[in-house]
Amino acid sequence: MSRGRRWAALVVLSASVLMVVMDMTVLNVALPAISEELRPDSVQLLWMVDAYSLVLSGLLVTASALGDRWGRKRMLLAGFAAFGLASLAVTVAGGATEVIAVRALLGVGGAMIMPSTLSLIRHLFTDPGERARALGVWAAMAATGAALGPIVGGLLLEHFGWQAAFLVNVPVMAAAIGAGVFLLPESANPAPGRWDALATLLSMAGMVALVYAVKTFGKDGLASPAALGASAVAAVTLGWFALRCLRRPDPLLELRLFRSAPFSAGVVTALTTSIAMAAVLLLLAQWMQLVQGYGPLETGVRLLPAALAAVVASPLAPSLAGRVGARTVLAGGLALTGLAFLLLYAAPSPLGYWPVAVALALIGLGNGSLAIASAAIMSGSPPAKSGSAAAIEETSYEVGGALGVAVLGSVAAAVYRTGLDAPALGGAGAAARESLGGALGVAGELGAAGAALAEQARAAFTESLVVTSAAGAVLMLAGTLAVWLLTPRHLDVSAGH
């Protein structure tokens, strides 16, 4: 392919990533409006956030392996169609359960889209240096999606119902299908091997059991029978899946890629970042609307520093890695994000917006390292295994996001509940303890007597944000050390596999 057509194809691939990421950040802004109208309980609220990531992470391996056989372009275009149709289905969603189902269907489309984009980039850009720059653009477009999501969501929520936050995907997916048909080349593994149906079932069952176990541990404690049972299922199924993949010459997922130190370092970077970011950014979006009183659009604007800094940092990361080394950029990005979380923890009380803005900018700069993480993952895998490499990278993002919301979200919920005076709440205590939105709803029904409850709930939620940020900082600093030790000192992501 000519250089011009390669970069035009990259526009289509990056635009698809932009929409998938934008859909996730739109939900952060739309969640209070959905909660106000549908009144979900805390479990339903978590499933609204996690259903997408859970389904996507469970299907990534299968979708990637199917794309290797059926054709990555065909899989991508089918994913566009599935994503658009799932977004359209929100028009018939009248309750929390239906919204969860729509999010799950979006996960099916996302599982078809995300690994296909990375696999196609691996085959479009055969020169490692050019591929690193392309992945920087890809990461920047993901950051742009994070920036546009709150803005677009805020604009839509100012003028329309929360359903519009989903319907915006429909025309964009239709345009992506039209452009993709003409611009994207077909790519497939010429010798993919025999399909392993048992491994497919094991991977899906194992991922669902794993995330369910983490969510249930966070809600019911470490002695929960359901969580312990799910953990056992996850250990057996994922262990069996790993053994099958390691013993077969043509595995469904090439786990032997982890023998490459750069590959492992890239995966750890992606996983650590997504665990901490998912929970803290979700809490920040709710804090801005329900504690600070910003509207959806103003919340989107005030979340911009993180995304804008990442838009700048991501394309520049490959050049910076060439000057100071990929290891420094990878570990340094994680350290910057950890520093941002520490700033949230150490900021004067009561927490105000300006420390948050500085922290968001540091988070965005730190996220520039994700472009190098993608380049390390792709340079650490041969072209024939690009589908497995893409599936593992995207699984790390999505599982990390689900784990972050489940684990750190549970920490935040525990701190929030501790900050409420349960005996004084009386019969309204159950609803108020479920979520800040529930507490404010109860306070509104109580009239003047509810002012004290609203103030107490807002203070408890702010404290939960601060404590969760401290936990995220510890996680990021641990990830920094792990990545520094894993990454070869003289790693050059422009040198290729």
DSSP state at residue 293: -
* Alpha carbon 96 to chain centroid, angstroms: 21
**Is 429's pLDDT higher than 70?**
no
Q: Which of 70-74, 96-100, 153-157 has the lowest mean pLDDT?
A: 153-157
Give percent of the chain with pLDDT exceeding 90: 14
**Is 246's pLDDT higher than 60?**
yes
Structure-block tokens of residue 406: 């489940």
Other residues' Cβ atoms within 10 Å of the Cβ of residue 255: 16
Pick the CATH number of 3-186+252-486 from 1.10.150.120, 1.20.1250.20, 1.10.287.610, 1.10.260.40: 1.20.1250.20
Tens digit of each residue's pLDDT (9 = 90 or more) over 36-84: 777 777 677 777 877 877 787 788 888 888 888 888 889 999 999 999 9
Tens digit of each residue's pLDDT (9 = 90 or more) over 446-494: 766 677 778 888 888 899 899 999 999 999 999 999 999 998 888 777 6
Structure-block tokens of residue 354: 């300006």
Instruction: Give the whole-angstrom CA distance, residue 90 versus residue 162.
Output: 10
Three-state secondary structure call for residue 254: coil
Q: Of the candidates 393, 398, 396, 403, which has an alpha carbon nearest to the alpha carbon of residue 115?
A: 393
Give percent of the chain with pLDDT exceeding 70: 93
Structure-block tokens of residue 90: 């929100």
304-324 vs 128-159: helix crossing angle, rounded to 10: 170
**Is 177's pLDDT higher than 80?**
yes
* Alpha carbon 12 to chain centroid, angstroms: 20
**Is 425's pLDDT higher than 70?**
no
Contacts of 65 (CB under 8 A, 6+ apart): 192, 195, 200, 252, 253, 387, 391
95 φψ region: left (φ > 0), alpha (ψ -120 to 50), beta (else) = beta
Average pLDDT value over all residues in the chain: 82
**Domain extent listing, the chain:** 3-186+252-486, 196-251
Average pLDDT value for residue range 202-225: 78
Tens digit of each residue's pLDDT (9 = 90 or more) over 338-368: 999 999 999 988 888 999 999 999 998 988 8
pLDDT band at 421 (very low <50, low <70, confident <90, very high): low
Instruction: Give the whole-angstrom CA distance, residue 348 versus residue 360.
Output: 16
**Is 422's pLDDT higher than 60?**
no
Helix (H) and strand (E) counts in the chain: 21, 0
Instruction: Give the whole-angstrom CA distance, residue 64 versus residue 76.
Output: 10
Q: What is the pTM of this model?
A: 0.81
pLDDT band at 147 (very low <50, low <70, confident <90, very high): low
Provide, for the chain, the percentages of residues in helix, strand and coil under a 3-state DSSP scheme, each rounded to the nearest 5. 85, 0, 15
Question: Where are the alpha helices (H) located in 196-325, listed in sequence order?
Answer: 197-220, 225-247, 261-286, 296-302, 304-324
pLDDT at 448: 67
Q: Of the candidates 401, 166, 155, which has an alpha carbon nearest to the alpha carbon of residue 296?
A: 155
Half-sphere exposure of 23 (CA within 13 A, CB side): 29
Instruction: Give the whole-angstrom CA distance, residue 213 versus residue 266.
Output: 26
Instruction: Give the whole-angstrom CA distance, residue 286 versus residue 42.
Output: 14
Q: Of the candidates 83, 179, 73, which has an alpha carbon nearest to the alpha carbon of residue 116?
A: 73
**Is 138's pLDDT higher than 70?**
yes
Q: Is the peptide bond before 423 cis (omega within 30 degrees of 0)?
A: no
Structure-block tokens of residue 240: 């069996």
Other residues' Cβ atoms within 10 Å of the Cβ of residue 392: 27
DSSP state at residue 429: H
